[in-house]
Structure 1
Amino acid sequence: MERDPKNKVVVVTGGAGGIGYEIADKFLKYGAKTVIILGRNETLGAEAAQKLNTKHGEGKAVFIKCDVTKDLDKVSSEIFQKYETDVLVNNAGVLDEANMRRTLETNLMALMDWSMKFWEHWRTDKGGRGGTIYNISSFYGYDYNPYTVYYKTSKAAVLSFTRSLGHPVNCEKSGVRVIALCPGFTDTTILTGKVWDWHNEGFQRVMKEEVVLQRPETVGEAAVEIFKLANTSEVWVAKNDEPIKLVQVTYEEVTP
């Protein structure tokens, strides 16, 4: 499995800002051919692409307006017609404890839909070229406190999906590596999302007293480092500005 970011065409959902933007930036820093950033806000997306092109060279970044919950078929068809893609980074996500359905549709269902669209497109057993699906989960996908109930549920499901679809049996057949990154608390707009009113005080206390709030740039660097190291189905953590760590998991031996 090719793990060098050089000359890769990378698609990043939710790539106009925050962690998604930094992942796009760092892939370009380490030699990616093109990054395609997807997002709902056309103004922010165009500005992000312009900024990346100014920094890394004209034509290195492309923005496509996209709501990941609605525009899968249209946007993926456009991408597949124009580019030979190598990496899908499922980064788009929300923190909205006032809307369970929106949280699950954005953080989980859209991620699964986009993953399967690219997985089928890349399958080497069906004539595809292989690739890497890179899911951005959260340390809240495996670590628990009373807060952000819907968000945690969505992120835990992302880890189960990553480990199952990325199982070595599936990877060997399809030629598609599936990996996950779990960032810790990171200084992005998602931390201003809605939590239950009676959780707000405790959640804010956790952010202030129990964690190191890391910069998005740190997560971007970690993402590329993990891309180079990770085997299929692996889950890696980047939190509290500490070195990245592999989350250990044991698989039952199966016969394909």
Structure 2
Amino acid sequence: METEFKNKVVIVTGGSFGIGRATALAFAKKGAKVVVVDRKENPETIELIKKSGGEVLFIKCDVSKSSDVKAMVSKTIATFGHLDFAFNNAGIEGESAPVQDCSEENWDKTIGVNLKGVWLCMKYEIHEMLKQSKGVIINCSSVAGLVGFAGLPAYVASKHGVIGLTKTAALEYAKDGIRVNAVCPGVIKTAMMDRLTGEKEEVEDQFISLEPMARMGTPEEIANTVVWMCSNEASFVTGHAMAVDGGFVAQ
């Protein structure tokens, strides 16, 4: 696996921070050319990738907009010539509220980024991968794509939708050399989690109590899983939603 990513091209959406940043860096360390896609550039992320010896391109993109996504994939191809892997990770948590109080605006925005965004990315990524009859796509779902969470109806619906979309694409392109899987992180220490907890220790402890391993996961643990799922070691894995959750959904 140490050399198989050399000079391969990977798109990482939501790549400036958190899980996306860790994954972009993990691919770069293995020699891949990384396209960091986000609504906001993080110079620190770009610098870390460069220091690791990786080649990096940042593209500003709103994944909920077709024109942005089409242009992002086109720029990737124009710069590097092809596309080998994609980690469709961009996502938002939306606002917390029960079903009856979830606003239409929150619903549309959350579904637009988390689900429509994944679909749009796959739409244009697959188009390029079909040209070379190979490629791997990993979509970021969540344990909230496997079980329900009270108070986050739009988020939970979007992440369940990602898994259904992943399975459908995996079946459609299995004979074309394209593998499509989803990763389902559990409670991971990221800025999104900090927003959910308000960085209050007692609230963090409540989330940690949900984890059988009695700790939060790290972005790097998700990144390592994504890299493995893109590797030849996972060559017979497609249409799978892999929980990386410290045992959360095993309860």
TM-score (norm 1): 0.80
Matched, 1:218 2:218: no
Distance 2:21 2:138 in 1: 15
Paired with 2:204 and 2:52, the residues of 1 have a C-alpha distance of: 35
SS of the residue aligned with 1:213? coil
Note the C-alpha offset of 1:147: 3.3
| Distance in structure 2 (CA, Å) of the matches to 1:237 and 1:30 | 24
Instruction: Provide the rounded CA distance (Å) in 1 between the counterparts of 2:109 and 2:245.
Output: 26
Q: Aligned equivalents of 2:229 and 2:71: distance in 1?
A: 30
Counterpart contact for 1:90–1:136, Cα < 8 Å: yes
1:89 partnered with 2:87: yes
Q: Against the structure 1 CA distance between its residues 203 and 161, is the aligned structure 2 distance closer, same or farther, given a 3 Å change threshold?
A: farther
Structure 2 match to 1:114: 121
Identity %: 28
Distance 2:204 2:44 in 1: 31
**Could you tell me which of 238, 241, 248 is aligned with 1:235?**
241
Between stretches 113-122 and 157-166, larger displacement belongs to 113-122
Cα contact 1:24–1:35 (8 A) shared by 2: yes
Tell me the residue number matched to 1:102. 109
The amino acid that maps onto 1:107 is N
Does the CA-based 8 Å contact 1:16-1:38 persist in structure 2? Answer: yes
Matched residues in 2 for 1:7 and 1:236: separation? 27
Aligned to 1:138: 142
Query: Is the 2:137–2:230 Cα contact (8 Å) retained in structure 1?
Result: no
Partner of 2:62: 67
How many residue pairs match? The answer is: 226
Residue 225 of structure 1, CA deviation: 2.2
Native 8 Å contact 2:85 2:230 kept in 1: no
1:54 to 22, 27, 51: 51
Q: Give the distance between the partners of 1:176 and 1:138, measured in 2 at CA.
A: 22
What's the secondary structure of 1:166's corresponding residue? Answer: helix
Question: Secondary structure at the residue paired with 2:238?
Answer: coil
Partner Cα distance (1:220, 1:122) in 2:
22
Deviation at 1:76, TM superposition (A): 1.8
In structure 2, the partner of 1:23 is: 23
Q: Relative to 1, partners in 2 of residues 1:227 and 1:130: Cα closer, same or farther, differing over 3 Å?
A: closer
Q: Give 1:18's aligned amino acid.
A: G
Structure 1 equivalent of residue 102 of structure 2: none
The question of 1:187 aligning with 2:182 is answered: no
Give the 3 Å change call, closer, same or farther, for CA 208–56 of structure 1 in structure 2: same
Structure 2's unaligned 5+ residue stretches are: 97-105
Paired residues of 1:96 and 1:193 also in contact (CA < 8 A): no
Deviation at residue 4 of structure 1 after TM alignment: 4.0
1:56 is paired with a residue whose SS is coil
Distance 1:203 1:164 in 2: 37
What TM-score results when the alignment is normalised by the length of structure 2? 0.81
Letter in 2 for 1:52: I
> Residues of 2 paired with 1:77 and 1:25: CA distance?
22
Gaps of 5+ in 1: 196-201, 248-256
Letter in 2 for 1:69: S
Q: Which amino acid aligns with 1:158?
A: V
What RMSD in Å do the two structures reach over aligned CA positions? 2.6
Q: Supply the distance in 1 between the matched residues of 2:224 and 2:40 (Cα, whole angstroms).
A: 25
Tell me the distance in 1 between the aligned counterparts of 2:228 and 2:133: 23
